[in-house]
Amino acid sequence: MPLFDIHISPDEPVYVISVVSKLVDLPIWTLRQLDKAGIVCPKRVGRKIRLYSLKDIKKLEYIHFLMEEKGVNINGIRVILELESKE
């Protein structure tokens, strides 16, 4: 039986919000708030469907760490990410 190697670019938006929510252990409403705040903005298909890339998921894993382990709120996360992007 042949095995298929599927290579997906880290920038390719392929993951729906429900899957991402489970992968990064963040509620869907939090993902929506992060999108609304401009912190992690997934690609939109139509008006409702958000598609996340692997890069988005990695960023969300870091955000989850900041929220759960360090107690940082969404505004604090925005500041931290902005500071880190300037380094």
Domain CATH code at residue 51: 1.10.1660.10
CA dist., res. 47 & res. 7, Å (int): 28
Q: Is 27 exposed, middle or buried (0-12, 13-18, 19+ CB in 10 A)?
A: exposed
Which of 86, 23, 87 has its CA nearest to residue 53?
A: 23
Spell out the per-residue pLDDT of the chain, length 87, in tens: 667 788 889 999 999 999 999 999 999 999 999 999 999 999 999 988 999 999 999 999 999 999 999 999 999 999 999 999 987
In a domain, 8, yes or no: no
When divided into structural domains, the chain yields a total of: 1
CA dist., res. 42 & res. 69, Å (int): 24
Which of 42, 34, 36 has its CA nearest to residue 72?
A: 34
In a domain, 3, yes or no: no
What's the domain range around 60? 15-86
Query: Coil, strand or helix: which one is 49?
Result: strand
